[in-house]
Amino acid sequence: MNTPKTYKVKGMHCASCAGIIEKTFKKTEGVQSVEVNYGTETAKVAFDPAKTSPHHLSEKIEKLGYSLVVPEDTAMAMDASKMGMSANEHAAHLGLNQSKKEKLAEVADMRAKVISAIPLAIFAAFVMGWDILAQYGVVGEMSYTIKEFFHHLLPIFATYILFVVGKPYLMGFYRFLRYGKANMDTLIGIGTVAAFLYSLAVTALEEALRPFINVDYQYYDVTIVVITFIALGKYLEARSKIKTGDAIEKLLNLQAKTALVIRDGKEIEVSVNEVKHGDLIIVKPGAKIPVDGVITEGSSYIDESMVTGEPMPAQKKIGDSVVSGTMNTTGSFTFKATKVGSETLLAQIIKMVEEAQGSRAPIQALADKISSVFVPITLVIAFVTLGAWLLFGTSSLGFSQALSYGLVSFVGVLVIACPCALGLATPTAIIVGVGKGAKEGILIKDAATLEKLHKVDTVIVDKTGTITIGKPTLVDIENLSDQKDEELVSILASLEKKSEHPIAHAIVNYAEEKKLSTNEVSNFEGIQGKGLKGSINGIEYFVGNTKLIKELGISFDVSKIDEFTAQGKTPVILATKEKVLGFVMVSDEIKAESKQAVADLHKLGIKVVMLTGDDEKAAKYIASLVGIDEVVAHVLPQDKLAKIKELQSHGKVVAMAGDGVNDAPALAQADVGIAMGAGTDVAIESAGMTLLGGDISKLVKAIKLSKMTMRGIKQNLFWAFIYNIIGIPLAAGVFYPIFGWLLNPVFAGFAMAMSSVSVVTNSLRIKAKKL
């Protein structure tokens, strides 16, 4: 099967539109799979290029009022393909992404029409209100002159509203008659056209029809107010939908447009798309980093909040990685480009967020099925309602009244039925949830992962790099001499500077962080498996483990060291030929946020299991400090897989947080695989979710986000279902024989417009909530 490609779709106005496009594409030869998302207004299509093309697919749906946005500029497409990007991605990187501008222009047009319609709707509502209140004696009857004035003015208003503001609904009606395809526009079109034509017939043939029906009832006001309410609702919905997707826009805006590159010994400013692998790029204070790379000269503090979510700028020096889209704060530096174009972390994040926002959650399946058959079923209900009123109402109410009530109910059913609320319930919440996650450094691969995460009851974590920092750190100093601690560490660092051992690096790094000076070492010599020796200012020092001290024949109480080693720490002893001066303990330090993160997971009712290849005693000690529930030590990667399967066999929903490389089988087996990514080497593709910066506290935020998003989706679906379950029977007049309730189509139109707006607004609430 060919790789699916995503295209923007123009002309989608409701959830049933997605169903129509999907069915049309599925019937097209060469199409292998298709997924149309109303929330993001995109179509994800896999097709055989030998049998069909995007232009051909667009032609298939153009007659139905839709079109695919296919990149036209071949040069741009070729340039983009060199960089491994789609032309749309390329356009976005060049700042040429027009879809937002088009959307804003569309919203501006909707706004202009709504503004022109509102005064007419207020006027029509005033006339309708006067009429109703006069029937109950609250106000006096209209005079004949005023009545005649309104009688001739309302048809003019209704004609403008129907043919200008209501044009999309008329087109929906026309396409239904011509192609037999019905969407929400069709329902509104049929309802308002029926009300308008009935009223027009009564106006034109008033005297001829008077013996048969009540010619005092006309429904121009229904046409005016219903279309205005629905147009207002669509405008508010479109404006809100732009806000739901602003996470992608913010990510695109992070991309630098140009780069200062050294070519032939000169500094030249080039477009970011012209940067090649290996280019040396100068970054000045306040500038954005254009591509990913490694610092070769200089140092600075870089604001990496877009990658890590951490507000404090990170110190960067020679050899450190930098990421495109992050902001340089103080110093200047030069770096070598290692990843350009679509390879950069920012490009991967944008692609992942876009795909996740466009993906479908399993919870959406039922709503999609209902949306696909909703319009035809509603049409049937509307015609059955009209028939029932005429059939059963004529005997008790008379033909004139039965026809009047039947028409009101017919229009009401068509207008109140809203597949949009159902269609928007899940995608809008997913778009907002995924976008909010991206801002926090939580990358979600698809909607299914976001849905599964809220059910997780067991989290498996790796010790190294997840609970602990993942590199040796000097954590304790035991001074047995009369020298200061700083002097002791300075001697150790001077000697260890010549060693390549990771533990030596931990001591040297500690000295550098504390700005301790080091001395010149002479007669340096490594002692295999035990340590090293060297002279400073004529004094010979020995650095190593307990075996070295025993060999030197120095008496030394090792009980304190044994106590530390039981905690998983490694001793480094400093001695002269005569005595031990002291020792430092080096260990993989627990991350500052680990203890709080585990406590927060417990508050969410989640059990935490730590798997490690380390010694059991040391692992249990670290687990006790952090508050972990269960420890499994001495495990190999395949053992992790077995542990996950065992937990799943007991009905547990398991999330596994690992480094995304050696944990790949376990991440794949877990219900939710979470890669703890740090820097640019994060394996985004290997897990359902990636926590940038490798911060375990983000796992808590991710679970909270999942619960928040799923709560929003369930609320949306509940209200969308309830609204239609109550609204359609009410509009049809089912309650009229029992309670005398009959819903005016005007209120039906208002309810329908507000149902979509309320769903989008409820989804936007997720944005404002704190994780």
**Cα gap 662→343, rounded to integer Å:** 22
Both structure tokens of 145 = 């002159």
Residue 37 contacts residue 18 (beta carbons within 8 Å)? yes
- Cα–Cα distance for residue pair 25/43, rounded to 1 Å: 10
> Taking the CB of residue 447, how many other CB atoms lie within 10 A of it?
28
- CA 643, 648, 652, 656 dihedral sign is positive
Question: In the annotation, is 368 catalytic?
Answer: no
The secondary element (H helix, E strand) that includes residue 546 is: helix 546-552
Rounded distance between C-alpha atoms, residue 133 and residue 140, angstroms: 8
* Residues shown for the chain: 771
Among 616, 705, 597, 745, CA closest to 657: 597
CB within 8 Å of 320: residues ≥ 6 apart: 294, 295
Give the strand pairing for 539-544 and 327-328.
unpaired
- Output the six-digit token pair for 275: 């940067």
Q: Which three-class secondary structure state does DSSP give residue 295? A: strand
Angle at the Cα of 697 from the Cα atoms of 692 and 702, rounded to 5 degrees: 70
Instruction: Please tell me what DSSP assigns to residue 4.
Output: P
Environment class of 526 (CB within 10 Å of its CB; exposed 0-12, middle 13-18, buried 19+)? middle
C-alpha to C-alpha distance for 94 and 459, rounded to whole angstroms: 42
DSSP-derived letter for residue 681 is G
Instruction: Kindly report the number of other CB atoms within 10 A of residue 557's CB atom.
Output: 9
Distance CA 194, CA 231 (A): 18
d(CA 575, CA 533): 10
List 221, 279, 368, 462, catalytic entry? 462
Rama region for 112: left / alpha / beta (φ>0; ψ in -120 to 50; rest): alpha
536 class by beta-carbon count within 10 Å (0-12 exposed, 13-18 middle, 19+ buried): middle
Three-state SS at 690? strand
φ/ψ of residue 480, rounded to 5? -110, 10
CB 250 within 8 A of CB 100: no
Catalytic residues: 462
